[in-house]
């Protein structure tokens, strides 16, 4: 029996964790994925945190030992009785019986805080948007879906800054993939630039042929042992489609997943699509399907050769 593959998506509150994973889960299929919010492992209710004077970003405000224990069980294919934190009113409730699907997607604030937690994941993604953008995202989300006032959110952000600097942001050092979405030069809010750090802790698809001459095309930079991929928000849709095609070609055994388009996100209640988000999701999906294939076969199969790509941008092989 192949064991479940564990994807961890860590980052500060409002950094876009759910936006990244929602598209992935949609593609992999609800029935295949068990999605867990590590916020469920909060030790205190919202009112208790206020009384104690602790932020949810502090390790002591979370049952990280229990999270580690549960991830270990789920990764072995065993069920757990998962606690539940309700973001609508900040309360802890009756726990929930969870059986792991083929994939586990764990979003959280402190997923990579300890070595034991880090090794409980197969794929570690850290989201590191610029602080200005994250504050704007968090404000919009918390006021529309978590019944906070704008004053409360801004006050919370200030209170949390110390713990964010101390406990959240240092986790970026332990991720296989670090993603920073940022505002692009274009006026369209759905055109976000993406800077993606691909660490050599995982075998990423060979992106070197991407280094095209197109002014609006993606760029790739070697930074010591890692690679930095920059996808401009202004990328031509045709370029983006070809890039996607090339990554899909590297995992043709997973082509049955190509039912839904990646890249969707909401701003408030408006639905948008972003090519850079789609590409980032695809690079994570690539890791998931390869980890799964490795888990099934018992060894990492040879990476498939990309098929020939025809057309104007044939330089953009992945």
Please report, as ranges, the residues that interact with its own copies according to CB under 8 A. 43, 63, 65-66, 69, 73, 78-81, 83, 91-95, 97
- The tokens for 140 are 């919009």
Least Å distance, CB 54 to its own copies, is 15
- The tokens for 14 are 């409002």
Least Å distance, CB 61 to its own copies, is 13
Q: Residue 73 or 230: which CB sits closer to its own copies?
A: 73
Q: Is 210 exposed, middle or buried (0-12, 13-18, 19+ CB in 10 A)?
A: buried
CA 197 – CA 177 distance, rounded (Å):
6
Least Å distance, CB 59 to its own copies, is 14
**DSSP H or E segment with residue 151:** helix 150-163
Least Å distance, CB 283 to its own copies, is 34
Least Å distance, CB 68 to its own copies, is 10
Q: Residue 65 or 304: which CB sits closer to its own copies?
A: 65
Least Å distance, CB 75 to its own copies, is 14
Q: Are strands 33-37 and 103-108 parallel, antiparallel or unpaired?
A: parallel
Question: Quick check: 176 and 199 in contact, CB under 8 A?
Answer: yes
* 294 conformational bin, left if phi > 0, alpha if psi -120 to 50, beta if neither: alpha
Q: Residue 94 or 215: which CB sits closer to its own copies?
A: 94
Q: Residue 60 or 221: which CB sits closer to its own copies?
A: 60
Question: Quick check: 107 and 9 in contact, CB under 8 A?
Answer: yes
Handedness of CA 255, 32, 146, 180 (dihedral sign): negative
Q: Residue 82 or 239: which CB sits closer to its own copies?
A: 82
Least Å distance, CB 3 to its own copies, is 17
Distances, alpha carbon 253 to alpha carbons 70, 277, 304, in Å: 31, 23, 9
Least Å distance, CB 96 to its own copies, is 10
Q: Residue 70 or 138: which CB sits closer to its own copies?
A: 70
CB neighbourhood size of 63 (10 A): 17
Output the 3-class SS for 128-143. CCCHHHHHHHHHHHHH
- The tokens for 198 are 């691909």
The count of C-alpha atoms lying within 13 angstroms of the C-alpha of 174, restricted to the half-sphere facing its C-beta, is: 22
Q: Residue 94 or 256: which CB sits closer to its own copies?
A: 94
Q: Residue 94 or 225: which CB sits closer to its own copies?
A: 94
């Amino acid at each position: 029996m192949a064991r479940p593959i564990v994807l961890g998506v860590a980052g500060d509150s409002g950094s876009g964790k759910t936006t990244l994973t929602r598209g992935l889960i949609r593609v992999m299929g609800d029935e295949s994925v068990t999605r867990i919010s590590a916020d469920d492992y909060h030790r205190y209710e919202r009112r208790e945190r206020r009384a104690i004077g602790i932020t949810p970003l502090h390790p002591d405000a979370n049952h990280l030992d229990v999270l580690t224990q549960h991830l270990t069980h789920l990764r072995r294919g065993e069920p757990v009785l998962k606690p539940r934190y309700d973001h609508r009113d900040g309360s802890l409730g009756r726990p929930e019986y969870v059986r792991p699907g083929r994939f586990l997607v764990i979003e959280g604030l402190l997923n990579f805080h300890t070595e034991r937690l880090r090794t409980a994941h197969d794929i570690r993604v850290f989201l590191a948007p610029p602080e200005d953008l994250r504050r704007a995202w968090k404000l919009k989300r918390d006021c529309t879906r978590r019944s906070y006032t704008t004053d409360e959110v801004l006050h919370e952000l200030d209170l949390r800054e110390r713990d964010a600097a101390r406990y959240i942001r240092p986790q970026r050092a332990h991720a296989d993939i670090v993603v920073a979405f940022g505002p692009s030069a274009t006026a369209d809010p759905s055109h976000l630039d993406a800077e993606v750090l691909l660490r050599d802790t995982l075998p990423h698809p060979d992106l070197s042929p991407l280094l095209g001459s197109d002014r609006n095309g993606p760029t790739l930079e070697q930074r010591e042992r890692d690679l930095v991929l920059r996808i401009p928000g202004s990328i031509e849709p045709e370029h983006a489609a070809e890039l996607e095609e090339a990554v899909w070609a590297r995992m043709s055994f997973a082509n049955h997943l190509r039912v839904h388009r990646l890249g969707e996100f909401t701003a408030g209640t408006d639905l948008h699509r972003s090519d850079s988000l789609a590409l980032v999701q695809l690079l994570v999906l690539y890791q998931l399907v390869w980890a799964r294939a490795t888990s099934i076969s018992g060894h990492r199969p040879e990476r498939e050769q990309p098929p020939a790509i025809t057309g104007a941008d044939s330089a953009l092989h992945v």
